[in-house]
DNA sequence: ATGAAAGCGCTAACAA
DNA sequence: TTGTTAGCGCTTTCAT
């Protein structure tokens, strides 16, 4: 298998390489007829331009890179797909990279900038709070999707996310409304400033507003996986641990892990313990019992991210942080303690 | 932000570009001391080679590409991750591409071959049964993971998969053993030769062996999503449709969609209808009730695929089709009709 | 063991 | 509107 080059195509079409290049890049200054001729040859021989050569030379492309942190994240995947389809409706081209939880998105971004010369980058997932100046150095318009860039004060970085604190508060408020008083919080490690921390603060605020004191032992820490949530909740169900009648889980996956622990301890969801999740993945509606959750506006996040990025690319507009609302989805996983 | 080039590094290190290039590619014929010096400069200035330029010139790399069909596939994701970690233990480098359900993996492979010059390609998911000669043209060792290359007779294409027919038969056999007689089959479109078809044939064989006739109306067709499975099963539960006491679903996701339809019709899993899934994703153990399933050996598929590919790359061994066994995982989703 | 120099396939001035 | 040509940053002969 040996592929054709632009030179060979140009010979075949009886034009110069630059003319072929112009056709390839849809430049305006090329005769309609010549264009058609070249296009025909290209099609006929199944020519595909070598993108290495293209990007090696080209200063600026119409590529938008999406860097997704976490491959196995059911919440992010629909967002990626929506972003991709949005971008594909425009003149821009989307390029998606999945990176590992412990890879640095900034490093990947840097590599991508030299390799693909993108005009914009969307960072989806993760929590790149630190290393602010590295983003500035990139000089490429960036969007943080699902995480805030507030306070970073970089004029090439915008963000589209939810108000994590308010959303978490909404979840816990709902549990209080349903008559629960001992509400456990199932979440990740509390690091200053990130979403997890904000969600925790939201829960605390709800506790405060309802005049209840939070027993610190009711914070159950775990990673965002079924297994870890299961194990952590299982431990919290031991006789020596404080009792609770409801759990606010910081992700739906965690909520499902928690539910299994509850079942295996011979208890029922929601009769013994109610659960509310977070994110609003499709599975919540297919789980048994259906899982109450705080639904993040995935589609909106995707659309707003793409729109904002393109605006920033084209108008060189200044950075902007968009905060979107969440929706409380009720479900069978919550029992009302007040209803007789 | 402006990145260093090999030329600048060479100046900084007081050597020629070719020497830097040699160091970069770990060639043997370079003085240890020179090498250290260059490496130090590279590290100090955080130099990253431009991969476009590299691949533009380079004939052969140590890159293995993994082309994954279907981004939102909970069954494939752990396999990808395992492959990646396996490859990273060797001298090879993994490059992962997620493609859409309706993109052509062959086209992507072709593009990748010119762009990245991979020494091998793994195709994960999908069903590239047709277009056999296009694979031959690639001349690069390929592995089909989770689908068979049997009968394609290409000496650069090997495969690692399960025996879909036997696995499906095992599932339906189990339902028969549990005393079920009217077993519905929930699957995708039946296209000659692909996994779905083989699974269907396996189910038919089980029916035959158990001396039962299969009522064609018990084949419930749907795509491999919660929604579609839910809708299809919901329709099959209408009063005018034939009754059944068990479902064999061709994927765990379908099984969960089916379960919801059953719940919403006021019936129980497994008291009214038993369900067995396929694939063995983690969720089956976290679902309520736990879902019986046919577990594909994901880790093994990943390992064998990588091993076989590397063997083929290094020894130019002839193609080989590996068939791995599956495991029946029992679960609460199945009721024994014989036990009193 | 190292350097000089010729491209890899393409884009983007610059000329025509 | 089209052609000519000089690189983009790297690898790889071929000298030395």
> What are B259-281's pLDDT values in tens digits?
999 999 999 999 999 999 999 99
- Using a 10 angstrom Cβ sphere, with 0-12 exposed, 13-18 middle and 19 or more buried, the burial of residue B152 is buried
Q: Which of B95, B136, B138, B134 is nearest to B116 (CA)?
A: B95
Q: Which of A41-55, B179-193, B245-259 has the lowest mean pLDDT?
A: A41-55
Predicted pLDDT of residue A130: 64
Q: Which of A154-163, B56-65, B188-197 has the highest mean pLDDT?
A: A154-163
pLDDT of B91-102, one tens digit each?
888 888 888 888
Residue B129 pLDDT level (bands cut at 50, 70, 90): low
CA distances from A211 to A181, A197, A215, A233, B219 (A): 10, 21, 13, 25, 57
Predicted pLDDT of residue B59: 67
Minimal C-alpha gap between A295 and chain B (Å)? 18
- pLDDT of residue B1 exceeding 70: no
Q: Which of A107, A121, A190, A199 is nearest to A154 (CA)?
A: A121
Predicted pLDDT of residue A340: 66
Token pair in block for residue B62: 């140590």
Nucleic strand C near CB of residue A21 (< 7 Å): yes
The mean of the pLDDT values for chain A is 91
Strand A321-324 relative to strand A157-162, pairing? parallel
Nucleic strand C near CB of residue B25 (< 7 Å): no
Q: Which of B323, B299, B300, B296 is nearest to B158 (CA)?
A: B323
Predicted pLDDT of residue A327: 98
Measure the N-to-C terminal CA separation of chain B; round to a whole number of Å.
75
Which of B51, B226, B269 minimises the CB distance to A286?
A: B226
What positions of strand D are covered by protein, i.e. any atom < 7 Å from a CB?
Answer: 1-5, 7-13
- CA of residue B30 to C1' of nucleotide C1, angstroms: 6
Q: Which of B43-52, B132-141, B219-228 has the highest mean pLDDT?
A: B219-228
Subunit contact B55:A52, Cβ cutoff 8 A = yes
Token pair in block for residue B325: 């066994």
pLDDT of B67-77, one tens digit each?
999 878 899 99
Predicted pLDDT of residue B323: 97
Residue B3 pLDDT level (bands cut at 50, 70, 90): confident
- pLDDT of residue B340 exceeding 70: no
CB contacts of B50 in chain A (<8 Å) are 56, 114-115
CB of A55 within 8 Å of any CB in chain B? yes
- pLDDT of residue B177 exceeding 90: yes
Residue A124 pLDDT level (bands cut at 50, 70, 90): very high
Percentage of chain B modeled with pLDDT above 70: 96
Does the CA dihedral B268-B224-B278-B219 come out positive or negative? Answer: positive
Strand A292-295 relative to strand A327-329, pairing? antiparallel
Q: Taking residues A261-272, report their average pLDDT.
A: 96
Minimal C-alpha gap between A213 and chain B (Å)? 32
Q: What is the rounded CA–CA span in Å between residue A133 and residue A16?
A: 45
Please tell me whether residue A263 adopts helix, strand or coil conformation. Answer: helix
Q: What is the rounded CA–CA span in Å between residue B83 and residue B102?
A: 23
- pLDDT of residue A111 exceeding 70: yes
Q: Which of B42, B39, B35, B96 is nearest to B65 (CA)?
A: B96
pTM, full prediction: 0.88
Please tell me whether residue A70 adopts helix, strand or coil conformation. Answer: coil
pLDDT of A198-255, one tens digit each?
999 999 999 999 999 999 999 999 999 999 999 999 999 999 999 999 999 999 999 9
Tokens 């072709």 belong to residue: B110
Residues 6+ apart with CB under 8 A from A24: A6, A42, A49
pLDDT of A136-161, one tens digit each?
878 889 999 999 988 888 888 999 99
| DSSP E strands, A153-208 | 157-162, 183-187
- Domains of chain A and any CATH numbers: 1-61 (1.10.260.40), 63-162+297-325 (3.40.50.2300), 164-296 (3.40.50.2300)
Residue nearest to nucleotide C13 (CA to C1'): A18
- pLDDT of residue A3 exceeding 90: no
Subunit contact B286:A257, Cβ cutoff 8 A = yes
pLDDT of A79-90, one tens digit each?
999 999 999 888
- pLDDT of residue A70 exceeding 90: no
Helix (H) or strand (E) holding A139: none
Find the length of chain A: 340
């Amino acid at each position: 298998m040996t592929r054709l080059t632009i030179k060979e195509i140009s010979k075949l079409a009886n034009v110069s390489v630059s003319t072929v290049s112009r056709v390839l890049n849809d430049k305006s200054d090329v005769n309609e007829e010549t264009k058609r001729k070249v296009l025909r040859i290209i099609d006929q021989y199944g020519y595909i331009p070598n993108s290495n050569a293209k990007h090696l030379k080209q200063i600026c492309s119409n590529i938008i890179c999406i860097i997704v942190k976490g491959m196995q994240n059911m919440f992010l995947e629909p967002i990626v797909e929506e972003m991709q389809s949005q971008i594909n409706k425009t003149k821009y081209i989307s390029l998606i990279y999945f990176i590992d939880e412990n890879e640095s998105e900034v490093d990947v971004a840097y590599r991508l900038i030299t390799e693909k010369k993108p005009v914009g980058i969307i960072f989806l997932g993760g929590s790149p709070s630190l290393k602010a100046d590295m983003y500035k150095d990139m000089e490429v318009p960036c969007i943080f999707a699902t995480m805030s860039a507030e306070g970073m004060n970089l004029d090439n970085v915008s963000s589209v996310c939810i108000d994590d604190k308010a959303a978490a508060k909404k979840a816990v408020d709902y549990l209080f409304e349903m008559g629960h008083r001992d509400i456990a919080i199932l979440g990740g490690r509390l690091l200053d400033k990130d979403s997890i921390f904000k969600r925790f603060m939201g829960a605390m605020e709800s506790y405060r507003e309802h005049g209840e004191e939070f027993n610190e032992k009711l914070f159950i820490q775990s990673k965002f996986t079924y297994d870890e949530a299961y194990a952590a909740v299982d431990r919290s169900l031991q006789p020596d641990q404080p009792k609770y009648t409801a759990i606010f889980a910081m992700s739906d996956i965690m909520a499902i892990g928690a539910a299994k622990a509850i079942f295996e301890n011979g208890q029922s969801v929601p009769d013994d313990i109610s659960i509310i999740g977070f994110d609003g993945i499709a599975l919540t509606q297919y789980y048994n019992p259906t899982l109450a959750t705080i639904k993040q506006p995935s589609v909106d996040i995707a659309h707003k991210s793409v729109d904002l990025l393109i605006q920033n690319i084209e108008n060189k507009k200044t950075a902007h942080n968009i905060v979107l609302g969440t929706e409380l989805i009720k479900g069978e996983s919550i029992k009302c303690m007040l209803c007789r």
